[in-house]
Every structure is written in C-alpha cells, then in structure tokens.
C-alpha cells in the first residue's frame, strides 16, 4: 500500500469534478467500513466491481506450484469478497468510452502503471485499460488521479452498463454512414449512474458501428448494437441506427437480433433507457448463467421483448437529455494539427517500413490524411512507451488517438506528409510493429496469467504464435496474412474466439492420469460484418501442439482454397470434418511425462500443469476405461452434430448434441453405478441424484450452469430444432462435456473415502 | 522528505548473455520455495514488450524483476510496502534486497553477471518525491549517508533523472567496484 495515499486528495484539490470527488470519497469510506467489518463481503465485492476493482488469480490465497497447492500467507484480515484476501493484488479496469483518450490521460496512465501496477498498461478487447497487481487500498488515489484528467472507473465491471464501444475510425472512415462518436458519448453520459441502469442481474454492453460491413465496433455481439445508416426520407438524407439486441459471446454466444431497422437519433437515449428498465425488471437475477439479456430475449422471443420495450418507452417521462446534445453532433470535435499532404515515395528499401505502410495505414475520408494503427503485442505497452506515445500524439496531431477492440491504438488525423517522421518516432520507442489487424495481431484475453477463471495460458500461446509467425510474416501469402486469430483462456470468450477466422479457447484433458493444457480449435467465425457469424469448436489440441495445428490449417487453406476464397467460405466448403481429420494425430500419441515433461506444462510457465491437483486416480481400471470410452463417444457425437448442422440438418444436429450430453452424463454415472441403462430418463435421474443434488458437478465459479444446460435440453427433447437452436445446443453440449471432464478430474484427484 | 517505495536496479554487466526465458523458471522456483523475505505471489512474463519490465516476480511487499527498461537489463527491486526507519535505512534495505537477488541469480544462472559499479535508485512515488531539483537537494544528505554506509566510501558519480515526467531517481556509478556478495550477505 502506498505511503502517499493520504496526499493525493489535497494535491488534486480543485482538479476533480465535485461529483467524481464525492463518489471516490464514498468508495474510500466503503473500503474503511469493510475493513471494520461493517459492510457484508458480498455487498463490498459488488461495490468495488462497480468501481472497476476486480479480483485476480490466486486472491483466494491458494496457488499451485506444480507439485502441490501452496497457501499464500496473506495477513488474516477482512476479505474483499467471498474467498478473496484483502491484501491479494487485484486488477483495475478503466473505462475508455469508444476508446477516446488524449495525451494527458496517457501520461497519467503511464504514471499509474509505474506507481501502482507492474509498469504495463494493458488494452482490453472492449477498448478499456487494465492495470494488474493493484492493492485495494491504493484504488482511491488511483481513481482520483484518473478523475483529475476526466476518466471515471465507475461501472467498469459488475452488473452495470459496461464501457460503450465504438469504431476507432469514427469520423474519419471513408465507409461510415456518419460519425457515431457524439452519439456514443451522449449514451455514455446518459447511462452512467442512471437510476434505471442499476438493477441488472448481469452486465449490459452497448456498442456503436459506423457501417455494417466492417468489424470495428462488433455490434452483433453486444446487448445493444447500433449500426449507423442513412436514408432518404421525404427528399432529405436522414440519420438513424439499425438497432440489434441480445448479442453476446461468453460461454453460449448469441448473435444480436434486429429490434429496429432505422431508429431515429432522438429515440436513441429513450429506447436505451426503456431497454435498461425492461432488462432490469425482467432479466434473470438468481441464476447468473441465464442473466444476460440474450436469455431474456430467448425466453420471451423478439416479438414480446420489442413490445415490452416499446410500451416502456411510451410510458417514460420526457427527459431533456434525450435530445439536447443533438444540435451539436455535427460540430467537428476533432481537427488536424498539420496541413494535408502527400505520402512521400518510399526510397528507403526498408522492408519492415514497407510492410508497416501496407498494414498499419488507412486512408481517412478527409483527403491528405491517414490513420495510423499502433499494433501492440498482446495489448501491452510499457509506461515509457505510453509517455512516448503521448508525445507523438501531441507532436503530430491535435490529441486524436483511440484504443481499439483489437487491443491497439489508432492515431487519427496524421498528415500523409508526416508518415515517415511518425514511423521513425514510433520505431524509436518500439511501437512500429507492422501487421495491424492481420495474422500477427493476435487478440488474447488475460487467461491464466491473471484471470481467476483461466484454464490454459492464452497469452502464453499468443506470445508463442506471434514469435513463430513474425519470423515468416513478410513471406506469408496474403491470404494467410489476412487471417484473424483470437485466443481465450477458457470458454468465457473474453478473447472473442468465436468471431476469429481461427479461434482457440482453453480446456484441459487427462493423459495417462495427468492433466494436460489444451485449446479447442474454433472455426467458422467471421470477423467482418460486425462479427457476422460465430465459429464452433472442432477438436481440442494439446497446448504445445497448437502451433503445429495452426501450420496445418493455414497450409490446407493455402493449398486447397479456390481463387479469392475467404477463410470462412473455405471452411464451409471443405468441411470441418476434413480439417479435423488433418489434426487428428495431434490429439493422440502423447509422450509420457518422463519423455517430455514440457508437454505437461503450459506456455511460459514451467510448473507441471495442475499435476498435484489430480495425482494418481483411485478408481477401478475398467470404470476408467468405460468412462474414457463413453466420453470419446460423446465428443464424436457433438462433432457429428456440427457436421449435420453444416449439412443443413439442424434437427438432427440438435438431437445428436443432446445425445452427446446424455452419453457424457452416463460416463459420469458409470463411475458410481455401472448398471445404468441408456434410457434418457434414467440417466438424467441418476446424474441428478449423484452429481447435481450433491453439488459434486458444480463448477467452482459457474456453479450448476452446465448441468442446467443438460436438464434444459432434456426438457425440450422432442421439440424440433431450428438452425439457431441447434447451434446453441451444440455449444451447450460442448461445454457440458468440458464440465464432465472437469468433474472427472476433480473426482480422480480426491482420495478415496471409506 | 520521506522516501518510501525505493527501487534499486543493479544492471547486468555488459550485454545479457542468457535467454531471458530462464528467469521465468528461476522466479517460479523462488515462488514455490517462498525463498525471499517478501510473500511471493506469481511470475509475470513481459518479454514480448520491447524495453519493458521483462520478467517480474510479483510479491506482496516488493516485486523483483529482470527488467529491460531503456534496453538495459538489470535486477530491479521494487519496494511496494512502506518500510520502517530513516531514508538512509530504506535505501539500504532496498539495495541489499536487490544485491541478494543478484547474488542468487548469478549462482543459479551461470553466465549471468551483474555490474559492481553501476546501479540506479528511484523513488516510485510522485507524491512523495516529485522529480524536480528540490527533491534531489532535499535528499542529497540521505544519498551520501547511504552510499557511505553501503560502500564504505562516497566516491561515486550521481546523475539525476532529467525528464521531469519520469520518476525521481539517480544513476550511481562508483569509482571502485563494490563487493556484491558482502552487501548481499549483510541483508540476512
Ligand atoms: S476468457 Fe476465461 S480466461 Fe479469458 S479473461 Fe475471460 S474468463 Fe478469464
């Protein structure tokens, strides 16, 4: 904890708005009250989450060191939340609406990273900043320093309206309908702390896109996605938004559904308010796993949801804020610092520079200007780089820089004449990485590095893939260079693996009685068109073999693609079965731990992967092999379900996914009761009694979620599947199977009881 | 002026001649053994960031890092918890903890050698020690006391960090090599 914590309030006196100052004072008091045990730990946990102050891996005081679980000797104080030690370092999320920052704010971010964190500023897939290893008692000072430059962390986490995403190219993009920035800004201000947005069962994520075809705002995967459009009405060009609702990634992704084809700007704020009220009132509150808006829409259907929101809107009391910003939307809030220019001819012969010009520059709609993407490895930059970036932004622009959903920065309004000098300035501080938005620019969530839910090392894998790809990136075929890779440390999808050309998410498997980190390979997703379709997992590959898997997939694409065929179309044409076949041998023939201990640890982490968690099993041999046999069958069936879906047979696909769940459940039941038949009713009953009612199957974080998927699917058995519902059932079956694996591992690690 | 959160970076002698990935393994083993005075929590790998924190061993009261800031590898001790004593005591505590870590790294990673003449001290707190000439003037005596008590002599060149936006700190270059082993030993 910082010795200077008592000083910042006075040092920044007069520099923080009264409202921010009061909010931070209140939070500081809440910290004190929790220390005195005058606030319940659960209430305090939600309070700090709504201030962006999050937990981090090992904050329960347990850490596996490769051979045993170690207790970290945090002082015996109050907790910060259930199972969360007070002194354990945590993560601070800092909301950056639509990614808009300025140089002064970057300077402060650099200072905070140095003084409170580990010297690294991290950009998330929702355009936020994140700092890690922060002490709870330092957070009020940190927040004051942010507030002094106009940044709030309010509602950065928790069951609230999260950061409002927006195209980083808004206002300068040649393809946009109009600049969404002022609308995103207005919605941010309006919903922040709004009383109608305080009673959600889960988070609520809005996003703005300037066009339908690109992915800069990823509107289709948001609770409320707004895509700018113009229409000629009565001879006049009018602005509006195509409003889609109920999208989301997470364990079970959903594409947002159309709510309004052309929402007029004056209806933007009231409709958002009405949606918030309906979601707050009717959204699930008890079962966290069904509490996102997508589940309410699924339960009600779009017709009912739309009608409820319209009715709510009609009853809202008029609020002047709904429209008072509108007269100002066309006043250009950004301008160029330097006159427009021409890009000087590149005579340097520098291949890296040429590559950077090709991948990191984008024409603005304003002639003579470009945007420059600063590509960050794994979304990270140092405090020194952050300060240098601030200087560069000041030198070449009028403070026009934004963060992106690909964990990069975009510098806007760069005169073409300045491009060589700007490149030189970036290069001097290690920020001239080429390959923005291509295969090198791998997006990843924090994974096992810092996230409590991480299963495999997403950052470790992304770092390894980057290193390998960078060696050959200049030589790669353009088709390969254009691919997007995204990695998540678990099924929760914070790395957005569903909308990548090639996605990965972390799972674990057991070989020879030892756990091995794996990644599911996810294919069929689409990055363009605002994340236009979601991929499905085809096979789990041991972590250390994922680079080989990537080589094979890209090799197949290169040799077997039709001319100009996009990757997503290639996967569809050639079929996931063929790709899986090409990867099959990577899933077997595991070396023994003696032959290759490396295989049993994760990337950039020498600890044996959860070895001590499982140990040698106590179960009888035949039961184990029967389990493995049944599980292999379940995995085959869920993959078969995908092939049925691909082949246009959604009903069969859904049935196969349900059968896969039954088979996986049976595998577990067999461990305790080997007379179980294949009768679905009996399997469900036995599973419920043995694993659900006893809570043995419950996930430490997700609780009964995965079992609930199984029961819900069983309830619906006999109802015909649509393409949509089959897709969801396949996702749920895959997650249920992963949960069966986890439960099995857990059981095998526990000593037999008498 | 109270100097807290003292950081000491002892530079690697010459260029780094070993693969920085090895620091990950060493720091994980230190964590498993809990073999430093501070509670050790985890290892953070930032090798992908140029001129960055390199590999950080995150602790509760302090972090240890094999740090590559400004493209100069070195062992960085970052004191996070407030420490007892006078300013000179706190400077000595941080230096000794850094020296001890250097000693251990040299022993565990053959080929790695730290400088015996050059190190950096800075205060990781802008409220306590803003980077301006007055701060240097105010803590000149503490620095001299520290160098004398540590090195047995005050023969060192001190260069202050000139960028006011960076943290207050000095680069120390001693006339004669100091005895890292003896200084590290004194830490126990
Ligand atoms: S995807 Fe999983 S591992 Fe990654 S940040 Fe989200 S919850 Fe954590």
Dump the DSSP string for A486-531.
EEESSTT-TT-GGGSSEEEEEEEEEETTEEEEEEEEEES-B-HHHH
Exposed/middle/buried for A624, CB within 10 Å: 0-12, 13-18, 19+? Answer: middle
Within this chain, do residues A306 and A365 fall inside the same structural domain, yes or no?
no
Mutate to test the interface with B, among A387, A430, A431, A606 (most CBs of B within 10 A): A606
pTM of the model: 0.89
Domain boundary among A328, A363, A393: A328
With a 6 Å cutoff on the Cβ, whether A492 touches ligand 1 is yes
Query: Is the model's pLDDT at A749 over the cut of 70?
Result: no
Return the pLDDT at B153: 67
Query: Is the model's pLDDT at A457 over the cut of 50?
Result: yes
In a domain, A160, yes or no: no
Within this chain, do residues A752 and A667 fall inside the same structural domain, yes or no?
yes
Query: Is the model's pLDDT at A199 over the cut of 90?
Result: no
Within this chain, do residues A712 and A601 fall inside the same structural domain, yes or no?
no
CATH number at residue A634: 1.20.120.330
Within this chain, do residues A197 and A296 fall inside the same structural domain, yes or no?
yes
How far apart CA A240 and CA A547 sit, in angstroms, is 45
Within this chain, do residues A324 and A217 fall inside the same structural domain, yes or no?
yes
Return the pLDDT at B151: 76
Q: What's the mean pLDDT when you consider all of chain B?
A: 94
Contacts of A88 in chain B (CB under 8 A): 41
Percentage with pLDDT > 70 across chain A: 97
In a domain, B1, yes or no: no
What confidence tier does A653 reach under pLDDT thresholds 50, 70, 90?
very high
Return the higher-pLDDT residue of A209 and A252. Answer: A209
Contacts of B69 in chain A (CB under 8 A): 119, 382, 384
- A536-542 and A601-602 strand pairing: unpaired
Range of the domain at B167: 6-185
In a domain, B45, yes or no: yes
Instruction: Kindly determine whether residue B41 and residue A65, on different chains, have CB atoms separated by under 8 Å.
Output: no
Instruction: Kindly determine whether residue B45 and residue A8, on different chains, have CB atoms separated by under 8 Å.
Output: no
Going by the DSSP 8-state scheme, the letter that residue A690 receives in this structure is I
Other CB atoms within a 10 A radius of the CB of residue A212 amount to 17
With a 6 Å cutoff on the Cβ, whether A447 touches ligand 1 is yes
Within this chain, do residues A689 and A742 fall inside the same structural domain, yes or no?
yes
Query: Is the model's pLDDT at A344 over the cut of 80?
Result: yes
In a domain, B109, yes or no: yes
Query: A14-46 pLDDT, tens per residue?
Result: 999 999 999 999 999 999 999 999 888 988 998
For this complex, say whether ipTM is above 0.90: yes
Instruction: Kindly determine whether residue B24 and residue A57, on different chains, have CB atoms separated by under 8 Å.
Output: no
Instruction: Kindly determine whether residue B56 and residue A382, on different chains, have CB atoms separated by under 8 Å.
Output: no
B82 and A CB contact within 8 Å: yes
Tell me which residue of A442, A373, A369, A364 sits closest to A409, measured CA to CA: A373
Query: Is the model's pLDDT at A613 over the cut of 70?
Result: no
In a domain, A163, yes or no: no
In a domain, B90, yes or no: yes
Contact by Cβ (8 Å): A479, A570: no
Return the pLDDT at B19: 96
In a domain, A159, yes or no: no
Within this chain, do residues A571 and A688 fall inside the same structural domain, yes or no?
no
Contacts of A8 in chain B (CB under 8 A): 127
Contact by Cβ (8 Å): A191, A150: no
Return the pLDDT at A270: 98
In a domain, A334, yes or no: no
Return the pLDDT at A621: 31
Within this chain, do residues A185 and A207 fall inside the same structural domain, yes or no?
yes
- Ligand 1 pocket mutation, candidates A124, A447, A459, A460, criterion most atoms within 8 A of CB: A447
CA angle B57, B62, B65 (to 5 degrees): 35
Total domains present in chain B: 1
Residue in B4, B41, B48 closest to A380 by CB: B48
- Asked which of A383-387, A404-408, A574-578, A611-615 is least confident by mean pLDDT, the reply is A611-615
- Ligand 1 pocket mutation, candidates A407, A446, A735, criterion most atoms within 8 A of CB: A446
Residue in chain A closest to B53 (alpha carbons) equals A119
Domain boundary among A605, A632, A656: A605
Contacts of A449 in chain B (CB under 8 A): 44-45
Residue in A4, A381, A604 closest to B128 by CB: A4
With a 6 Å cutoff on the Cβ, whether A251 touches ligand 1 is no
Q: What is the secondary structure of A542-569 as a DSSP string?
A: EGGGHHHHHHHHHHHHHHHPPTT--HHH
Most confident of A308-312, A435-439, A606-610, A676-680: A308-312
Q: How far is B31 from chain A (nearest CA, A)?
A: 8
Within this chain, do residues A591 and A628 fall inside the same structural domain, yes or no?
no
Give the residue ranges of chain B where pLDDT is below 70.
153-154, 186-188
Contacts of B81 in chain A (CB under 8 A): 1
- The residue whose C-alpha atom lies closest to atom 2 belonging to ligand 1 is A490
Return the higher-pLDDT residue of A496 and A76. Answer: A496
Total domains present in chain A: 5
Return the pLDDT at A746: 80
Instruction: Kindly determine whether residue A133 and residue B45, on different chains, have CB atoms separated by under 8 Å.
Output: no
Within this chain, do residues A449 and A569 fall inside the same structural domain, yes or no?
yes
Within this chain, do residues A517 and A637 fall inside the same structural domain, yes or no?
no
Return the higher-pLDDT residue of A534 and A11. Answer: A11
In a domain, A540, yes or no: yes
Query: A95-152 pLDDT, tens per residue?
Result: 999 999 999 999 999 999 999 999 999 999 999 999 999 999 999 999 999 999 999 9
In a domain, B127, yes or no: yes
Query: A507-521 pLDDT, tens per residue?
Result: 988 888 888 999 999
In a domain, B24, yes or no: yes
Sign of CA dihedral A258, A262, A268, A271: negative
Interaxial angle between packed helices A650-672 and A621-646, expressed in degrees from 0 to 180 and rounded to the nearest 10:
170
Instruction: Kindly determine whether residue B124 and residue A430, on different chains, have CB atoms separated by under 8 Å.
Output: no
- Ligand 1 pocket mutation, candidates A461, A493, A537, A699, criterion most atoms within 8 A of CB: A493
In a domain, A152, yes or no: no
Q: How far is the CA of A377 from the centre of ligand 1 (A)?
A: 18
Instruction: Kindly determine whether residue A449 and residue B2, on different chains, have CB atoms separated by under 8 Å.
Output: no
Average pLDDT of the segment spanning A282-298: 87
Contacts of B31 in chain A (CB under 8 A): 63, 65
Contact partners, residue A371, CB within 8 Å, separation at least 6: A168, A169, A172, A361, A362, A364, A410, A411, A412, A413, A414
Cα-Cα end-to-end distance for chain A:
47
> Which stretches of A264-387 are assigned E, i.e. beta strand?
361-363, 369-374, 380-382
CATH number at residue A484: 3.30.413.10
Going by the DSSP 8-state scheme, the letter that residue B65 receives in this structure is E
Residue in A1, A65, A466 closest to B31 by CB: A65
Return the pLDDT at A332: 64
Return the pLDDT at B67: 98
In a domain, A639, yes or no: yes
Q: How far is the CA of A630 from the centre of ligand 1 (A)?
A: 29
Within this chain, do residues A474 and A585 fall inside the same structural domain, yes or no?
yes
In a domain, A204, yes or no: yes
Range of the domain at A532: 438-605
Return the pLDDT at A622: 32
B31 and A CB contact within 8 Å: yes
Return the pLDDT at B154: 63
């Amino acid at each position: 904890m910082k010795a200077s914590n008592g000083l910042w309030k006075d040092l920044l006196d007069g520099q923080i708005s009264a409202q921010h100052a009061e909010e931070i004072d209140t939070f500081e008091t809440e910290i004190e009250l929790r220390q005195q045990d005058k606030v319940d730990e659960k209430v305090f946990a939600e309070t700090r989450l709504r201030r962006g102050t999050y937990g981090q891996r090992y904050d329960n005081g347990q850490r596996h060191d490769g051979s045993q679980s170690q207790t970290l000797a945090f002082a015996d104080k109050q907790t910060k939340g259930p199972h969360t030690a007070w002194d354990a370092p945590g993560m601070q999320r800092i909301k950056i609406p639509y990614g808009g920052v300025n140089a002064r704010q970057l300077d402060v971010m650099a200072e905070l990273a140095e003084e409170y964190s580990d010297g690294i500023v991290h950009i998330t897939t929702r355009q936020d900043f994140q700092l890690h290893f922060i002490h709870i008692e330092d957070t009020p000072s940190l927040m004051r320093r942010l507030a002094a430059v106009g940044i709030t962390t309010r509602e950065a986490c928790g069951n609230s309206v999260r950061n409002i995403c927006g195209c980083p190219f808004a206002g300068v993009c040649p393809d946009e309908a109009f600049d969404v920035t002022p609308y995103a800004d207005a919605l941010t201000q309006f919903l922040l702390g709004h009383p109608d947005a305080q009673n959600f069962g889960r988070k609520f994520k809005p996003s703005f896109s300037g066009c339908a075809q690109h992915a800069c705002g990823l509107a289709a995967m948001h609770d409320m996605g707004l895509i700018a459009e113009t229409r000629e009405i009565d001879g006049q060009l009018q602005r509006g938004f195509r409003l889609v609702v109920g999208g989301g990634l997470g364990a079970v992704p959903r594409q947002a559904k159309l709510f309004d084809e052309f929402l007029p700007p004056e209806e933007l704020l009231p409709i958002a308010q009405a949606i918030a009220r309906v979601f707050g009132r009717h959204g699930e509150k008890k079962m966290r796993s069904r509490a996102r808006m997508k589940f309410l829409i699924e339960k009600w259907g779009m017709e009912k949801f739309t009608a409820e929101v319209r009715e709510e809107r009609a009853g809202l009391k008029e609020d002047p804020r709904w429209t008072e910003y509108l007269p100002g939307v066309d006043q250009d809030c950004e301008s160029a610092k330097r006159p427009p220019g021409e890009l000087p001819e590149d005579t340097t012969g520098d291949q890296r520079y040429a590559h950077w010009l090709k991948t990191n520059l984008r024409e603005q709609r304003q002639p003579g200007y470009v945007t420059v993407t600063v590509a960050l490895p794994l979304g990270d930059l140092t405090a020194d780089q952050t300060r240098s970036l601030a200087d560069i932004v000041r030198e070449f622009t009028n403070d026009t820089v934004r963060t992106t959903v690909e964990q990069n920065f975009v510098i806007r309004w760069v005169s073409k004449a300045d491009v060589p000098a700007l490149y030189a300035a970036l290069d001097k501080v290690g920020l001239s990485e080429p390959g923005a938005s291509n295969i090198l620019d791998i997006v990843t969530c924090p994974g096992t590095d810092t996230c409590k839910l991480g299963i495999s090392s997403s950052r470790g894998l992304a770092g390894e893939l980057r290193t390998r790809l960078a060696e050959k990136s200049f030589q790669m075929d353009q088709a390969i260079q254009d691919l997007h890779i995204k990695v998540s440390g678990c099924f929760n999808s914070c790395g957005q693996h569903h909308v990548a050309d090639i996605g990965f998410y972390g799972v674990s498997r057991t070989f020879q009685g030892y756990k091995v980190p794996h990644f599911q390979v996810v294919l069929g997703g689409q990055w363009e068109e605002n994340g236009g379709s979601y991929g499905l997992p085809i096979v789990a590959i041991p972590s250390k073999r994922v680079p080989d898997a990537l080589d094979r997939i890209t090799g197949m694409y290169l040799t077997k693609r039709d001319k100009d065929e996009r990757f997503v179309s290639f996967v569809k044409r050639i079929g996931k079965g063929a790709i899986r076949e090409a990867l099959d041998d990577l899933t077997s023939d595991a070396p023994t731990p003696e032959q290759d201990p490396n295989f049993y640890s994760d990337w950039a982490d020498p600890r044996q992967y959860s070895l001590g968690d499982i140990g040698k099993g106590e179960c009888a041999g035949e039961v184990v092999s029967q389990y493995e046999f049944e599980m292999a069958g379940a995995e085959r069936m869920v993959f078969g379900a995908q092939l049925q879906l691909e082949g246009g047979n959604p009903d069969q696909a859904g049935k196969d996914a349900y059968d896969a769940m039954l088979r996986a459940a049976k595998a577990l039941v067999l461990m305790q009761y080997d007379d179980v038949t294949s009768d679905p009713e009996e399997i469900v009953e036995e599973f419920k009694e043995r694993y659900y009612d006893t809570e043995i199957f419950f996930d430490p974080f997700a609780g009964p979620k995965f079992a609930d998927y199984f029961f819900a699917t069983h309830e619906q058995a006999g109802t015909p599947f649509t393409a949509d519902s089959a897709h969801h059932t396949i996702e749920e079956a895959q997650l249920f199977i992963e949960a069966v694996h986890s439960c099995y591992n857990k059981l095998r690690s526990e000593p037999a009881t008498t | 002026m109270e100097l807290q959160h003292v950081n000491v970076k002892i530079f690697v002698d010459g260029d780094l001649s070993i693969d920085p990935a090895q620091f990950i393994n060493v720091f994980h083993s230190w964590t498993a053994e809990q073999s430093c005075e501070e509670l050790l929590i985890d290892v953070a790998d930032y090798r992908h960031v140029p001129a960055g924190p390199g590999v950080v061993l995150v602790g509760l009261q302090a972090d240890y890092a094999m740090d590559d800031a400004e493209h100069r590898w070195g062992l960085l001790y970052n004191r996070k918890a407030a420490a007892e004593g006078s300013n000179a005591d706190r400077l000595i505590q941080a230096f000794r903890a850094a020296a001890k870590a250097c000693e251990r790294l040299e022993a565990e990673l053959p080929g790695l050698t730290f400088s015996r003449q050059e190190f950096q001290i800075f205060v990781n707190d802008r409220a306590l020690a803003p980077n301006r000439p007055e701060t240097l003037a105010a803590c000149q005596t503490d620095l001299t006391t520290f160098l004398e008590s540590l090195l047995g002599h005050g023969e060192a060149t001190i260069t202050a960090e000139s960028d006011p936006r960076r943290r207050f700190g000095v680069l120390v270059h001693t006339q004669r090599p100091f005895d890292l082993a003896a200084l590290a030993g004194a830490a126990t």
